[in-house]
C-alpha cells in the first residue's frame, strides 16, 4: 500500500482564524446545497408574501385609497413590509432547522469538530441570511408592479438591508432552537415568536397614531429597526410630498427624538451580534 | 510530555476514572474507577452489556464528557485540558448516525475535511482513498438518504479516517446491522491495520465481535472486571463444554459422577459437561459411560462464558436487568 498517507503527512493544523473561517464557510455551503436542492420549498415560501402583497395589499388598499387619497398606493407602502415578512419566515425557519440537524445527528458531527461553536453558528446564520435574501430577489423583481422604481442603488441597498435583517432573524431562530429537542415543537414555537414580531414591526401598517401600549411594544421589537430603514430607502426613491410620506413612513420616534436611519441600522447590527452570542452561549451549555 | 506524545507512548491511558451523574439520592455512578492502557496500533475492545459504562468511558476519551475524577490521556494529551488537540487526533464513529441525508456521500466527507482543516491539495485524494476502502467510491455522488444502513455505517467509518487520526473510536459500530453487514464492518476495521497506522478503540455488546480485538476489557456496572487477550480470557474460564444427547439422561448423569467424578447438567434434553480438554475427553466418554450416546458436540469456551464467569450473569440477562432497574442491579452486584 504505497499510496497510503501516513498520519504525519495529513497533519491537522492547530486552531487559527483560518480554520475557524473554513468551518463557517463549509456550514454556509451546506445551507446553499440544501436550498438549491429544495426547489419546492422555494416556491411554496414565495406564496405567502405574494398573498400579502397582492391580496391583502389590494384589498386594504382599495379601502384606504378611496377615503384618504394620496399619491401612494397601499401596495407600494406594503412592498418593503412584505420583504420583511418573507425574511421573517424564511430566516426563522433556517435558524430553527438546526433542530432537524440535531434530530438526524448531524449537529453532533459539527459540534465535535475541533472548531468553536461560534464558527458553526456563524456559518448557519450566514446560510439562513443568504437563503432568505435569495428568496427576496424574486420579490424585488416585482417592484415595478407596485410602483417602486428599479433604481440600481436602491435595489443594492435593499439587498444589503434584507441580508442584515435575515441574519438577525436566523440568529433569533438559533436562540430558540438551542433548547428544543423535538421537531414537532419547533414549528409552533417559531409561529409563536414570529407572528407578534411581524404585526408589531410596522411591516403591515405605519407606526403612527397608535395607542401608547402598542407603541411601546413596537419600540421593543428588534424587527421594527430592521423594517424602517428598508421602507425609508424605498420612500427616498418615490415622488411623494412630505405630508403623504409622514402618513405612510412616519419613522421611529422615541419621545420627541426621531431615531435616524443610521442609528437603526447600527441597532440591527447590534441585535445580530447579541442574538448570535446568546445562541452560542445557549448551545455551549446544552450540547 | 514529549516522550508520551511520541510514537512510543500509549494511545490511551486512563487512571482512576470516575463519572457520576446527578446528585444526592438520584446520583448514578456510571464509571466507578477504571484503569487501563491501550498500546499504539492495538485494536482494543470494550465489552459489556448496555448501561455498563462503556459509552460514558468512550465519551470521556473523546472529550465529549468531563470525568468526575481521575485522568484520561489520548496520545499523551489530557482529554480535559487539551480538548481541541485531542479532537484533532481522533476519529469518531458514534452509535447513532451523524450523516447529512440530503448531501451526497462525497459532500459529507468534504464537509468533514473542511471542518477539520485538512490540507486542500490532499483532500480529494484522501477522499477517494477512504471511499474506495469502504467500497463506496461508485456511490459517492448519491445522496446519503438513498444508502442502506450498512453503507451509512461504512461511510461514517470512512469519514472517521479522513483526517488520518491516530486513534479511531468506534462506539457500537455494528449495532442494528444484520450479521453479514456486521462481518463486513469488522473486515474493514481489520484492514485498517494494514493500510493505516492506527489504534482502534471499539465498544460492543456482541460477544462474538470481541474476537476481532487484540485485547478486550470486560466492563460491568461501571468497573472493568477482566482485561486480557480473548484467548487468555477464555483460558481463564478453562473448561471446554461437551454436550451429549443420550438414551437415558439420568443414567448418564450417574455414570458421569461415578466413572469420571464430573457433575453434568441436563437442560432441554441435553447433558452438558465442563472439562479441561473436550476433544481428548470424548473417546473416554464413549468407552466408559455405558449409556447410549446419540450425538456429541464439543465447544471451546466463548466470551459469553468469560462474561458469565466474571459477572455471574449472562450478557443477555445483564442487558434486560440493569438498564431498567439500576437499583436492583446494584443490590444484586454486591
Say what the pLDDT of residue A284 is: 87
Q: How confident is the model at residue B319 (pLDDT cuts 50, 70, 90)?
A: low
In tens, the pLDDT along B104-139 reads 999 999 999 999 998 899 999 999 999 998 889 999
Q: How confident is the model at residue B284 (pLDDT cuts 50, 70, 90)?
A: confident
Where in the sequence of chain B do the CATH 3.30.70.260 domains occur?
Answer: 239-300
pLDDT of B212 over the 90 cut: no
- Under 8 Å CB-to-CB from B62, ≥6 apart: which residues? A112, B79, B86, B87, B90, B92, B169
Q: How many residues does chain B have?
A: 334
- Under 8 Å CB-to-CB from A99, ≥6 apart: which residues? A177, A180, A181, A182, A183, A186
DSSP three-state, residue A158? helix
Helix or strand run (H / E) with residue B28: strand B28-38
Out of 3.40.50.300, 3.40.50.2300, 1.10.3720.10, 3.40.1110.10, the CATH code matching B2-234 is 3.40.50.300
DSSP three-state, residue B317? helix
Say what the pLDDT of residue B2 is: 40
Say what the pLDDT of residue B109 is: 96
Q: What percent of chain A has pLDDT over 90?
A: 60
Name which residue leads in pLDDT, B26 or B257: B257
Say what the pLDDT of residue A255 is: 85
B166: which chain A residues are within 8 Å (Cβ-Cβ)? 7
Average pLDDT over residues B38-57: 88
CB atoms within 10 A of CB B6: 11
Distance of CA B250 to the CA centre of its chain: 40
Where in the sequence of chain B do the CATH 3.40.50.300 domains occur?
Answer: 2-234
Instruction: Calculate the average pLDDT of chain B.
Output: 84
Say what the pLDDT of residue A282 is: 94
Across the interface, whether the CB atoms of A109 and B112 are under 8 A apart is answered yes
| Fold annotation for B239-300 | Alpha-Beta Plaits (3.30.70)
pLDDT of A145 over the 60 cut: yes
Q: How confident is the model at residue A11 (pLDDT cuts 50, 70, 90)?
A: low
Across the interface, whether the CB atoms of A112 and B97 are under 8 A apart is answered no
Q: What percent of chain B has pLDDT over 90?
A: 34
Running DSSP on this structure, what letter comes out for residue A14?
P
Considering only CB atoms, A26 lies closest to which of B96, B111, B194, namely B111
Average pLDDT over residues A109-131: 94
CA distance linking residue B175 with residue B170, whole number of Å:
11
Helix or strand run (H / E) with residue B171: strand B167-171
Q: What is the pTM of this model?
A: 0.82
Average pLDDT over residues A120-124: 97
Q: Tell me how close the Cα of B99 comes to any Cα of chain A, in angstroms.
A: 5
Counted across chains A and B, CB pairs separated by less than 8 A come out at 102
B110: which chain A residues are within 8 Å (Cβ-Cβ)? 26
Considering only CB atoms, B87 lies closest to which of A34, A105, A114, namely A114
pLDDT of B327 over the 60 cut: no
Q: Measured between CB atoms, does B196 come within 8 Å of chain A?
A: yes
Considering only CB atoms, A4 lies closest to which of B92, B101, B195, namely B195
Closest residue of chain A to B130, computed from CA coordinates: A4
Say what the pLDDT of residue A193 is: 92
Amino acid at each position: 500500500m504505497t499510496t497510503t498517507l501516513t498520519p504525519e503527512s495529513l497533519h491537522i493544523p492547530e486552531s487559527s482564524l483560518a480554520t475557524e473561517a473554513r468551518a463557517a464557510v463549509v456550514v454556509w455551503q451546506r445551507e446553499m446545497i440544501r436550498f438549491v436542492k429544495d426547489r419546492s420549498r422555494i416556491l411554496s415560501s414565495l406564496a405567502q408574501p405574494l398573498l400579502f402583497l397582492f391580496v391583502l395589499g389590494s384589498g386594504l388598499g382599495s379601502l384606504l385609497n378611496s377615503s384618504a387619497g394620496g399619491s401612494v398606493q397601499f401596495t407600494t407602502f406594503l412592498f418593503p413590509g412584505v420583504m420583511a415578512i418573507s425574511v421573517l419566515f424564511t430566516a426563522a425557519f433556517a435558524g430553527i432547522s438546526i433542530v432537524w440537524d440535531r434530530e438526524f445527528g448531524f449537529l453532533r458531527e459539527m459540534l465535535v469538530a475541533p472548531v468553536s461553536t461560534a464558527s458553526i453558528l456563524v456559518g448557519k446564520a450566514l446560510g439562513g441570511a443568504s437563503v432568505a435574501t435569495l428568496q427576496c430577489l424574486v420579490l424585488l423583481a416585482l417592484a415595478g408592479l407596485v410602483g417602486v422604481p428599479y433604481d440600481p442603488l436602491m435595489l443594492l441597498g435593499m439587498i444589503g438591508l434584507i441580508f442584515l435583517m435575515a441574519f438577525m432573524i436566523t440568529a433569533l431562530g438559533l436562540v430558540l432552537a438551542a433548547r428544543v429537542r423535538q421537531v414537532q415543537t419547533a414549528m409552533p414555537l417559531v409561529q409563536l415568536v414570529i407572528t407578534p414580531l411581524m404585526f408589531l414591526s410596522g411591516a403591515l401598517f405605519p407606526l403612527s397614531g397608535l395607542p401608547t401600549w402598542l407603541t411601546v411594544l413596537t419600540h421593543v421589537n428588534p424587527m421594527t429597526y430592521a423594517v424602517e430603514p428598508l421602507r425609508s430607502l424605498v420612500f427616498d426613491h418615490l415622488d411623494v410630498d412630505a405630508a403623504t410620506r409622514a402618513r405612510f413612513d412616519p419613522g421611529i420616534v422615541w419621545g420627541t427624538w426621531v431615531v435616524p436611519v443610521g442609528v437603526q441600522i447600527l441597532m440591527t447590527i447590534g441585535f445580530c451580534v447579541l442574538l448570535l452570542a446568546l445562541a452560542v452561549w445557549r448551545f455551549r451549555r446544552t450540547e | 510530555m514529549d516522550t508520551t506524545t511520541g510514537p512510543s507512548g500509549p494511545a490511551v491511558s486512563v487512571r482512576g476514572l470516575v463519572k457520576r451523574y446527578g446528585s444526592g439520592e438520584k446520583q448514578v455512578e456510571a464509571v466507578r474507577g477504571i484503569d487501563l492502557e491501550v498500546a499504539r496500533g492495538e485494536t482494543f475492545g470494550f465489552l459489556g452489556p448496555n448501561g455498563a459504562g462503556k459509552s460514558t468511558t468512550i465519551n470521556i476519551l473523546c472529550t465529549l464528557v468531563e470525568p468526575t475524577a481521575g485522568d484520561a490521556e489520548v496520545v499523551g494529551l489530557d482529554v480535559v485540558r487539551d480538548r481541541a488537540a485531542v479532537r484533532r487526533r481522533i476519529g469518531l464513529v458514534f452509535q447513532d448516525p451523524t450523516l447529512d441525508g440530503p448531501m451526497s456521500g462525497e459532500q459529507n466527507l468534504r464537509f468533514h475535511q473542511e471542518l477539520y482543516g485538512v490540507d486542500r491539495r490532499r483532500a480529494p485524494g484522501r477522499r477517494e482513498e477512504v471511499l474506495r476502502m469502504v467500497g463506496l467510491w461508485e456511490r459517492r455522488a448519491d445522496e446519503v438518504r438513498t444508502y442502506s444502513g450498512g453503507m451509512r455505517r461504512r461511510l461514517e467509518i470512512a469519514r472517521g479516517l479522513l483526517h488520518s487520526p491516530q486513534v479511531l473510536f468506534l462506539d457500537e459500530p455494528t449495532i442494528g446491522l444484520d450479521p453479514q453487514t456486521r462481518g463486513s464492518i469488522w473486515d474493514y476495521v481489520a484492514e485498517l491495520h494494514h493500510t493505516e497506522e492506527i489504534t482502534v478503540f471499539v465498544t460492543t455488546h456482541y460477544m462474538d465481535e470481541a474476537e476481532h480485538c487484540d485485547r478486550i476489557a470486560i466492563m460491568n456496572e461501571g468497573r472493568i472486571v477482566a482485561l486480557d487477550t480473548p484467548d487468555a480470557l477464555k483460558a481463564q474460564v478453562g473448561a471446554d463444554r461437551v454436550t451429549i444427547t443420550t438414551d437415558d439422561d439420568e443414567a448418564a448423569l450417574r455414570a458421569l459422577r461415578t466413572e469420571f467424578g464430573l457433575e453434568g447438567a441436563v437442560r432441554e434434553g441435553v447433558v452438558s459437561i465442563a472439562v479441561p480438554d473436550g476433544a481428548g475427553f470424548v473417546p473416554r466418554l464413549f468407552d466408559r459411560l455405558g449409556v447410549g450416546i446419540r450425538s456429541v458436540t464439543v465447544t471451546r469456551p466463548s466470551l459469553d462464558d468469560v462474561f458469565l464467569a466474571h459477572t455471574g450473569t449472562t450478557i443477555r440477562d445483564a442487558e434486560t436487568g440493569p438498564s431498567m432497574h439500576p437499583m436492583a442491579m446494584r443490590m444484586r452486584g454486591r
